[in-house]
Amino acid sequence: MSKKLVVVVTALVACVALAPEGSARGYRSATRWLGHGVGLTSIVDPSGPYRIKVLSVKLDRKSTIDVALSNNVLPDFETTSSMARRHGALAAINGDYAQPDGRPVYGFAEDGWLAQTPSGWGRNFALDQTETAAFVGHGKLHVTATYAETGLDHAVDRVNAGPPSSAEIAAYTRAGGLLERPPLNACAARLRPLAVPAASAVDGVDLLAQVEKSRCSATGMRLRGGIVLATPAVGKRAPELTELVAGQQVGFRWTFGWPGVMDAIGGNPNLVENGGIVVGASSVPFYRRHPRTGVGVTADGRALLVTVDGRHAGYSVGMTPRRFGRLFVSLGAEWAINLDGGGSTTMYAEGKIRNRPSDGSERAVSSALLVLPGPDQPPPFSPPRRAGGSGSGDAARALVTDPASTGGLADALAADGRLPETLRSVAGAFDRAER
């Protein structure tokens, strides 16, 4: 498993601007400070030309990074600027790729609550409970339910990610909104949390809960604010849930394999590992020059949130993933991953969109990375509502045909033989649009 713990240094580190690869006339950069340890650098590099925005954040509790899910519910679409305003953020960039219904493609967790397991194997940017350490890489997500009566761990195969197979147990939480509901004709148990999620002493997050109800029924069990574990009534794992009775305690636990992680957002591919560029080149559309968004971490304790505009001839042409990786290395990144790009690429700061989105306006997305002016304060929970936020239809159509967004990613994964089932329809739609 590739991973990196970023140890925070005590000295304030200034933003680092990208050094031009040649002596291109007209190269310039300027940095403005948005808050404690938070700098926004604007770079004009005529060699592309490229227009680059870099948020450099010193990881400490005076300025923190948080993740945001569109409208706090699965699935939905919301603009990056809207998520930033809801959370009172100083700045933000767009996050994970979105499936056509608005859910993120990869794993997502916020403040210790696991919103969903990934639809395919990807990468993650994660933050620990102190908000002073970050991890980037191939975190392997494990979810378990430990029964206090027996001490046995029972694997939970998916969280808010569709119905379980006959050999699976699925979990459903309020983050699943009105789409992810416990299945019919299932054995199920509803757990009532007894405390808020807490970081484990070793790694992962623990949540102590109590069984409120357990049964097998043709009708689906209601959430009622709890966590429902479910498996097909005729499935192999039904006995694991039927043995639960009201009043028993269950430990619900998830981990990416990194200590203390409470927040995580997905991306793909990895750009930089151990200070070296690891992303290659390819002839598929995803690997051509496009607008890009990414996040990286440096050895001296900074997070780098970066956007590059594209598809604007004479202004900014965008970057290939490999060129984007070179940019991160030039900025001092030890580790970096690519996030949703193309028309999704957005940099928000001080109440304004600071880049030039290639669609001509800001696209609604699945999630965002936020820079907060202090310790993370979880937003109040909003009751689930029907999916379909502002611009959801337009966003869904755009991302499927965008070579640097979900459509292009699905096409690239298909070419590499790693396309998950959940993205097959997206890959097909992208292929038809490219013809």
pLDDT tens digits, 145-184? 999 989 999 999 999 999 999 999 999 999 887 678 899 9
The band of 131, judged by pLDDT with boundaries at 50, 70 and 90, is confident
Which of 289, 241, 286 is CA-nearest to residue 403? 286
Cβ-based neighbours of 83, under 8 Å, separated by 6 or more: 68, 70, 89, 92, 367, 368, 370
- Show which of 200, 223, 255 is a domain's final residue: 255
The string of DSSP codes covering 12-60 is -----PPPPSS--TT-EEEEEEEETTEEEEEEEETTTTEEEEEEEEE-B
- The amino acid occupying position 69 is L
Residue 129 and residue 161 share a domain? no
Q: Report the pLDDT value the prediction gives residue 391, as an integer from 0 to 100.
A: 53
The band of 375, judged by pLDDT with boundaries at 50, 70 and 90, is confident
Q: What residue numbers bound the domain in which 169 lies? A: 142-255
Q: Report the pLDDT value the prediction gives residue 393, as an integer from 0 to 100.
A: 80
Residue 388 and residue 293 share a domain? yes
- Show which of 255, 285, 306 is a domain's final residue: 255
Residue 174 phi, psi (nearest 5): -65, -20
pLDDT digits (tens, 9 = 90+) for 2-46: 444 333 333 333 444 444 444 467 899 999 999 999 999 999 999
Residue 302 lies in a domain: yes
Residue 354, SS3 per DSSP:
coil
Residue 278 and residue 402 share a domain? yes
Residue 116 and residue 40 share a domain? yes
Q: Cβ(183)–Cβ(164) under 8 Å?
A: yes
Q: Report the pLDDT value the prediction gives residue 24, as an integer from 0 to 100.
A: 63
Q: Cβ(329)–Cβ(21) under 8 Å?
A: no
Residue 186 lies in a domain: yes
pLDDT digits (tens, 9 = 90+) for 259-305: 889 999 999 999 999 999 999 999 999 999 999 999 999 999 899 99
Residue 67 lies in a domain: yes
Residue 157 and residue 119 share a domain? no
Residue 414 and residue 298 share a domain? yes
The band of 111, judged by pLDDT with boundaries at 50, 70 and 90, is very high
Q: What is the tally of structural domains in the chain?
A: 2
The band of 139, judged by pLDDT with boundaries at 50, 70 and 90, is confident
Which of 66, 151, 77 is CA-nearest to residue 113? 66
Residue 248 lies in a domain: yes
Residue 416 and residue 289 share a domain? yes
pLDDT digits (tens, 9 = 90+) for 60-69: 878 899 999 9
Both tokens of 39, joined, read 């700098």
Residue 115 and residue 100 share a domain? yes
Strand order in the sheet with 261-267: 113-116, 108-110, 261-267, 123-128, 134-137
Residue 55 lies in a domain: yes
Handedness of CA 357, 361, 366, 371 (dihedral sign): positive
Residue 425 phi, psi (nearest 5): -65, -35
Q: Report the pLDDT value the prediction gives residue 21, as an integer from 0 to 100.
A: 47
Residue 62 and residue 195 share a domain? no
Share of the chain above pLDDT 70, in %: 91
What is the rounded average pLDDT of the residues 181-209? 93
Q: Report the pLDDT value the prediction gives residue 399, as an integer from 0 to 100.
A: 95
Residue 385 and residue 277 share a domain? yes
- CA 194 → CA 200, 208, 210, 249, 335, distances in Å? 16, 6, 7, 9, 37
The band of 194, judged by pLDDT with boundaries at 50, 70 and 90, is very high
pLDDT value at 80 more than 70? yes
Q: Report the pLDDT value the prediction gives residue 250, as an integer from 0 to 100.
A: 97
Residue 156 and residue 109 share a domain? no
Which of 370, 341, 304 is CA-nearest to residue 110? 370
Residue 195 lies in a domain: yes
Q: Report the pLDDT value the prediction gives residue 179, as an integer from 0 to 100.
A: 74
Both tokens of 288, joined, read 């051509």
What is the rounded average pLDDT of the residues 122-140? 89
Residue 83 and residue 158 share a domain? no
- Show which of 213, 234, 255 is a domain's final residue: 255
Alpha-carbon distance of 370 to 179, in angstroms, equals 26
Residue 37 lies in a domain: yes
Q: Give me the chain's average pLDDT, please.
A: 90
Both tokens of 378, joined, read 């979880």
Residue 11 lies in a domain: no
Per the model's pLDDT, the better-predicted residue between 378 and 285 turns out to be 285
What is the rounded average pLDDT of the residues 323-346? 98
